[in-house]
Structure 1
């Protein structure tokens, strides 16, 4: 089956190279945002993987609950303790943050930044409650809150095989030392994220040495930013196909319902009479 990429910067393709031989894998997505657009985990979910999505924005959390019913979807932020925090939301973006200084930069740039209170949990507590096996990858995209997230994870007990974290272009991330001290090795900076491998999984390093290419046999998802612009006709056709798919699913569910089977049985009896 052709691999459909949804991620913003080929992240899912790189991860799939390393992990495609593992069935029913498990991920943790901190700052999951929207369940499809630019999602690092969507392609894995389509292939039977499940995981934990941590997303404080109400509209995105609701969408995750609807589109990812097999996942564990938590409406909170990951931090270094359990507490109430001020969260700065910027609608229809991936720029929402708990960092006041970052929020101020966006507000000064003219963005509509709205604050509300959210609950914080440590990744350790989340893993203790929900993780039953290996964590194949951990993705963190939290707009300046990375160090606090990492300080809330016990890497001596929970060892994600691969970690990818959105990273400043200047690559001056002070939080990197936390990962190095925990036995992780930096293997790739892709211009947006830094990928780290646990020292016990350095055999995956070769999967990150080559840029995504035709050998990966992938396609971009419908409407991907790297794909060609869509015409109004193509967009309308896509929506009609979605409606047809939903109608077909509803009809299939109806035909499998008890009431439908009862009616069909009654029809057969009446025809014989």
Structure 2
């Protein structure tokens, strides 16, 4: 099965190279944004994985709930304290942030920045709820300047993601990096957009990151990917029709799954089995 890459900088290709031998793996995506566009986790979901999406924006939260029924999607901001906080939404982009300085910079650039009050949870509490009894194969963090606060809310002594990917465009000097390395992780790669860390106990995976993604990874870019050739208007129409049809099929599949697992259906099936044996 050809691997379809949705991530903006081949993050999913690198992760798949390291983790493809694990079936039904688990991820946590902090700042999940759109279920498909520039998604680091969509390809893994398509291959049977599941995980937790942390996303405060209502439209993306709704889309994740609809298109990722196996995932747990949490509508909140990951922070160092529970409660409520101000979040700066920039509709239709992946540039929303909880950092007021970053929000002001983007407002000065003419972006439509909207202040929202959202729920905040620590990453530790999210792990306690959804990952208490299972390995976390990778943790991806894309929070537009809010990285340190997210990391201060994570107990790495209790929860040990094998791989951590943190979006850090154009930057290599971070005041927060010691929070990861002091917790038993090694910085192994900067790909121009992200800084990558490996847990000390999983350094055997490091060779998977030694060379960039290449044709030997047997992957294709998803339709409409920024690195792919732009589509013509007719191709765009066809692609949108296919995407709409796929979305309807995914919704129908989710509804069927829910129906098959409902108490009523199970009770009817049990009754049929009893009648057959009678």
Does the alignment reach a TM-score above 0.5? Answer: yes
Q: Which runs of 5+ in 2 are unaligned?
A: 260-278
Task: Give distance in 2, aligned partners of 1:165 and 1:72.
Answer: 21
Q: In 2, Cα distance between the equivalents of 1:246 and 1:160?
A: 31
2:268 corresponds in structure 1 to none
Shift in alpha-carbon separation, 1:191–1:130, aligned structure 2, 3 A: same
* Matches of 1:251 and 1:112, distance apart in 2: 35
Give the direction of change, closer, same or farther, for the CA distance of 1:81–1:234 in structure 2 (3 Å limit). Answer: same
The aligned residue for residue 271 of structure 1 is: none
CA distances 1:143-184 after superposition (whole Å, capped 9, x unpaired): 111011111111001000000001141311111001110000
Q: Secondary structure at the match of 1:84?
A: strand
Aligned 8 A contact 2:67 2:250 in 1: no
CA distance in 1, matches of 2:143, 2:92: 15
Alpha-carbon displacement from aligned partner over 1:113-141 (angstroms, at most 9, x marks no partner): 00010111011111111113000000000
Structure 2 residue aligned with 1:140: 141
Question: How far is 1:243 from its partner?
Answer: 5.4
The Cα of 1:244 is off from its aligned counterpart by: 5.5
1:41 is matched with which residue? Answer: 41
For 1:209-248, list aligned pairs within 5 A.
209-242=210-243
Tell me which residue corresponds to 1:104: 104
Partner of 2:267: none
TM-score, structure 2 normalization = 0.88
1:28 corresponds in structure 2 to 28
CA distance in 1, matches of 2:246, 2:35: 19
Offset at residue 249 of structure 1 (A): 8.1
Is 2:203 aligned against 1:190?
no
3-state secondary structure, aligned to 1:110: coil
Quote the offset at 1:240 in angstroms: 3.5
C-alpha deviations, 1:10-61, integer Å up to 9, x for none?
0000000000000000000000000000000000000000000000000000
Deviation at 1:237, TM superposition (A): 2.0
Q: How many positions carry a matched residue from both structures? A: 255
Q: Aligned partners of 1:245 and 1:95: how far apart in 2?
A: 27
**CA distance change for structure 1 residues 79 and 247 in 2, over 3 Å: closer, same or farther?**
closer
Shift of 1:85: 0.4
Deviation track 1:52-102 (CA, whole Å, cap 9, x = no partner) reads 000000000000001001100000000111021000000111110111111
**Matched residues in 2 for 1:169 and 1:229: separation?**
26
Aligned-partner SS, 1:51: strand
Contact kept in structure 1, 2:67 and 2:251, CA below 8 Å = no
TM-score norm. by structure 1 comes to: 0.89
What does 1:22-101 align with in structure 2 at a 5 Å threshold? 22-101=22-101
- Matches for 1:172-187 after TM superposition, within 5 Å: 172-187=173-188
Match of 1:200 in 2: 201
Unaligned runs of at least 5 residues, structure 1: 258-273
Is the contact between residue 66 and residue 251 of structure 2 (CA under 8 Å) also seen in structure 1? no
Larger CA deviation: 97-106 vs 234-243? 234-243
What's the CA shift for 1:185? Answer: 0.2
